[in-house]
Amino acid sequence: MESFLQQLINGISLGSIYALVALGYTMVYGVLRLINFAHGDVYMLGAYFGYYLSRLVQGRTPSHLLDAAVVMILSMIGCALIGVIMERFAYRPVRRASRLTLLIIAIGVSLLIENASQLIFGANPRFFPQLIPETHIHMGNLMLTNQQVIVLVTALALMILLNLFIYRSRTGKAMRAVSYNLDAAKLMGIDTDRIISLTFALGSALAAAGGILVSINIPGIDPLMGVMTGLKAFVAAVLGGIGNIFGAVLGGLILGLAEVMVAGYGSSTYRDAIAFLILIAILLFKPSGLLGKGQVEKV
Amino acid sequence: MKRLLWIAGTIGALLLLQWGATALLLDGPIRQGPYYYQIIILAGINIVLAVSLNLTNGIAGQFSIGHAGFFAVGAYMAASVSYYGGPAIRGAVSFLPLVGQDTVVLILALAAAALATALAGLLVGIPSLRLRGDYLAIVTLGFGEIIRVLILNIDAVGGARGFSGIPKLSNFFWVYLLVAAVIATVWNLVRSSYGRAFQAIRENEIAAQAMGVDVTRHKVLAFVISSMFAGMAGCLFGHYTMYLHTNSFTFVKSFEIIIMIAIGGLGSIEGAVLGAVLLTVLPEAFRGFEGYRMIVYSLAVILIMIYRPQGILGQVSVIKRVRAHFITKKAAREAATKAASSAAKMPVKAEGA
């Protein structure tokens, strides 16, 4: 029982990271109907920005928590810029092209970021500096680290903020309009280009946050760390119903739990397969995802 | 009869080329011969992969990004046939010379690979009935990864250690025989009623259905044929490198094949061949710029897709063009001689012609 609860905590902690990255996928898919394969690489860039920033920032502010917050916010801004640049130069020129073209470009952008990072950062894994010293919190026989708590709280806070932004602000409303129907939104006077840029910026910032939170927990970072996480986060987004914000969070949590349980009770080598098995099952039985609305195809 | 002659001619030419390549590159005076030979082999395998993937992605319009999975199934299936069953097969045909025994083993391995991957293709083809576009792409990606993880967990084929000790049975001849086979198959398929049905599905599934095309059957057929060739390519790959590891079959390999057909031109056979050759040879040619070549290569993909989304060749068929060029020239010449002769016979009516 205790080991189950322990796994549950680990699963939720992993799942909240997937959820953060999945949010970016789902938002971009919502507005552009594009699977942004490079999103996982933005998450990796977030971790690397964090790595360099923490060497600058660490010890300059009064507390460890403030250190981490400054690193995280700066890295989120950096990745938001990357996201906007990516959209402007790779996706905007082909927005009207076929979805296959978009998909291939997304694959190209992903390869570009991965290879450029290997060249710039080096291909070897780096050790992410410990921004917050680890302490253990005991609850009965359960053991939590303060880092796990921070990851959970931050992820939750970011998701609530995003939710407030999308459902309570004017810009959020515009974003929902664009996602509902791009052309109609344009006719209503919404600057769709700006909204799409903003979507990329927000999604990339969340991915960066995910990257840093992961590195706080598991300090090894390398230029290809975003590949698998990116794919799994995408699975999470589809699982919850792509284009649906709550769906992404739910999908992320389910995926994180499933993965930790399989690794804990089954074989850890099957860990990577479980995500895809879930994906195929969900697509075969309910292609719109858990919370997605079924769409009627119009001729 | 004409077809038989073609096949015999191809086999003869390939045998000659094989002999030439061995004499020149492997045992010959060229210092880096074996290296060039290997590039030629790998280019051939990539051509098979690209042309076969083009059948589903370019011609039938069912976007699959799990081709490496089929490649892996074929490679591992064939390797286990020749590794575990090889001695028994050789025993059964011990009356043949060594080359003959090799051939029998390789053909059986190829058949096993084709069968196993055709089955796998059927398995993936079935979900493709329900899904389209991005979702299908992701499901095929998932299948590819699941296949890889499963293989990684089978100890009989080496698991994470990799599968070593595979006999070296494939060579230039076999690889390019398969290249010829895949090109001939896809070429003829595209020009048959099946090919027209594939293209109809690609252009508009609902319209195709309304015109009486059995969408389900054709989609599955495209998948099965395409995966079968990928599996046979896997067989020849494994029997050339003599070692297999699941790391060669990740989705990165699938992406690579997609990029080949995207650069060459989706839906064009010549484009797929060109893309495969370019993407095999160029990285080797720029090996000196190790770090930069992958960057240039991904940039090239992005730029080509932005500025020439139909690929370098696009839907244009080079062979058709060349043929049309000669045919019109010939027709013009014939018309000219005809006109001249008729003019000579009937000078009065010549103005009217």
Subunit contact B301:A108, Cβ cutoff 8 A: yes
Subunit contact B139:A93, Cβ cutoff 8 A: no
In a domain, A273, yes or no: yes
Q: Does B135 touch chain A (CB under 8 A)?
A: yes
In a domain, B169, yes or no: yes
Q: Give backbone dihedrals phi and psi of A54, rounded to 5 degrees, phi first.
A: -70, -25
What would the two tokens of residue B348 be? 């009065």
- One-letter amino acid at B314 equals G
In a domain, A294, yes or no: no
**Among candidates A33, A94, A267 on the partner chain, residue whose Cβ is nearest the Cβ of B305:** A94
Subunit contact B130:A112, Cβ cutoff 8 A: no
Subunit contact B258:A107, Cβ cutoff 8 A: yes
Question: In this predicted model, what pLDDT tens digit does every residue of A9-55 receive, in sequence order?
Answer: 888 888 888 888 898 888 888 888 888 889 999 999 999 999 998 88
What is the mean pLDDT of the segment spanning A210-221?
85
In a domain, B296, yes or no: yes
> What residues of A are in the B interface, CB distance below 8 Å?
33, 35, 90, 93-94, 97-101, 103-105, 107-109, 111-112, 115-116, 118-119, 231, 234-235, 238, 267, 269-270, 272-273, 275-277, 279-280, 283-284, 287, 297, 299
Subunit contact A101:B309, Cβ cutoff 8 A: yes
All residues of chain B having their beta carbon less than 8 Å from the beta carbon of residue A289 are none
Shortest distance, CA A108 to any CA of chain B (angstroms): 5
Shortest distance, CA A4 to any CA of chain B (angstroms): 25
All residues of chain A having their beta carbon less than 8 Å from the beta carbon of residue B256 are none
CA dihedral A227, A232, A236, A242 (to 10 degrees): 40
Within 10 A of A51 (CB to CB), how many other CB atoms are there? 21
- A22 closest CA partner among A285, A286, A275: A275
* Alpha carbons A37 and A21: distance in angstroms, whole number: 12
| For A275, nearest residue in chain B (alpha carbons) | B142
Higher pLDDT, B210 or A60: B210
In a domain, B349, yes or no: no
All residues of chain A having their beta carbon less than 8 Å from the beta carbon of residue B63 are 100, 103
* Alpha carbons A122 and A222: distance in angstroms, whole number: 8
Determine the 3-state secondary structure of A137 from DSSP.
strand
All residues of chain A having their beta carbon less than 8 Å from the beta carbon of residue B206 are 297, 299
Structural domain tally of chain A? 1
In a domain, A295, yes or no: no
In a domain, A297, yes or no: no
At residue B290, the pLDDT reads 67
**Among candidates A93, A101, A299 on the partner chain, residue whose Cβ is nearest the Cβ of B206:** A299
> Is 90 exceeded by the pLDDT of residue A197?
yes
Subunit contact B146:A118, Cβ cutoff 8 A: no
In a domain, A117, yes or no: yes
At residue A75, the pLDDT reads 93
In a domain, B281, yes or no: yes
Within 10 A of A95 (CB to CB), how many other CB atoms are there? 14
Q: Which pLDDT band holds residue A136 (cuts at 50, 70, 90)?
A: confident
Non-local CB neighbours of B50 within 8 Å, separated by 6+ positions: B257, B260, B261, B264, B272, B273, B275, B276
Q: Which residues of B80-106 are buried (b: 16+ CB within 10 A; e: fewer)?
A: bbbbeebeebbeeeeeeeeeebbebbb
* Alpha carbons A18 and A39: distance in angstroms, whole number: 12
Question: In this predicted model, what pLDDT tens digit does every residue of A95-130 receive, in sequence order?
Answer: 887 777 888 888 889 989 998 998 888 888 888 888
Q: In which domain, by residue range, is B173 found?
A: 2-339
* Alpha carbons B330 and B324: distance in angstroms, whole number: 10
Range in A69-78, A254-263, B313-322 the model is least confident about = B313-322
In a domain, B348, yes or no: no
User: For the domain that residue B237 is a member of, what is the CATH number?
Assistant: 1.10.3470
At residue A10, the pLDDT reads 83
Within 10 A of A130 (CB to CB), how many other CB atoms are there? 14
Give chain B's residues under pLDDT 50.
349-353
In a domain, A12, yes or no: yes
All residues of chain B having their beta carbon less than 8 Å from the beta carbon of residue A104 are 258-259, 262, 301, 305
**Among candidates A234, A283, A299 on the partner chain, residue whose Cβ is nearest the Cβ of B131:** A283
At residue B344, the pLDDT reads 65
Subunit contact B298:A267, Cβ cutoff 8 A: no
Q: Which pLDDT band holds residue A298 (cuts at 50, 70, 90)?
A: very low
Subunit contact A97:B262, Cβ cutoff 8 A: no
In a domain, A298, yes or no: no
Question: In this predicted model, what pLDDT tens digit does every residue of B41-90 receive, in sequence order?
Answer: 899 999 999 999 988 888 888 888 889 999 999 999 988 888 888 778 87
Q: How many separate helices (H) and strands (E) can be counted in chain A? A: 11, 4
User: For the domain that residue A111 is a member of, what is the CATH number?
Assistant: 1.10.3470
In a domain, B350, yes or no: no
Subunit contact B291:A277, Cβ cutoff 8 A: no
At residue B321, the pLDDT reads 65
Structural domain tally of chain B? 1
* Alpha carbons B331 and B311: distance in angstroms, whole number: 32
All residues of chain A having their beta carbon less than 8 Å from the beta carbon of residue B261 are none
Q: In which domain, by residue range, is A178 found?
A: 2-132+139-285
Q: Which pLDDT band holds residue A295 (cuts at 50, 70, 90)?
A: low
CA angle A58, A64, A67 (to 5 degrees): 50
At residue B345, the pLDDT reads 63
In a domain, B351, yes or no: no
Q: Does B294 touch chain A (CB under 8 A)?
A: yes
What would the two tokens of residue A81 be? 């810029």
Determine the 3-state secondary structure of B64 from DSSP.
coil
Is the Cβ–Cβ distance between A26 and A244 less than 8 Å? yes
At residue B315, the pLDDT reads 61
Orientation angle between helical segments A146-168 and A192-217, nearest 10 degrees:
170
- Most A CBs within 10 Å, among B67, B305, B307, B312, to test the A interface: B305
In a domain, B95, yes or no: yes
* Alpha carbons B152 and B290: distance in angstroms, whole number: 29
Question: In this predicted model, what pLDDT tens digit does every residue of B226-270 receive, in sequence order?
Answer: 999 999 999 999 889 888 888 888 888 888 888 888 888 777 888
**Among candidates A93, A104, A273 on the partner chain, residue whose Cβ is nearest the Cβ of B145:** A273
**Among candidates A108, A111, A276 on the partner chain, residue whose Cβ is nearest the Cβ of B145:** A276
Shortest distance, CA A42 to any CA of chain B (angstroms): 16
Number of Cβ pairs < 8 A linking chain A and chain B: 113
User: Long-range contacts: B37-43, Cβ < 8 Å, 24+?
Assistant: B37/B172, B39/B280, B39/B281, B39/B284, B40/B172, B41/B170, B41/B171, B41/B172, B41/B175, B41/B240, B42/B280, B43/B276, B43/B277, B43/B280, B43/B281
In a domain, A280, yes or no: yes
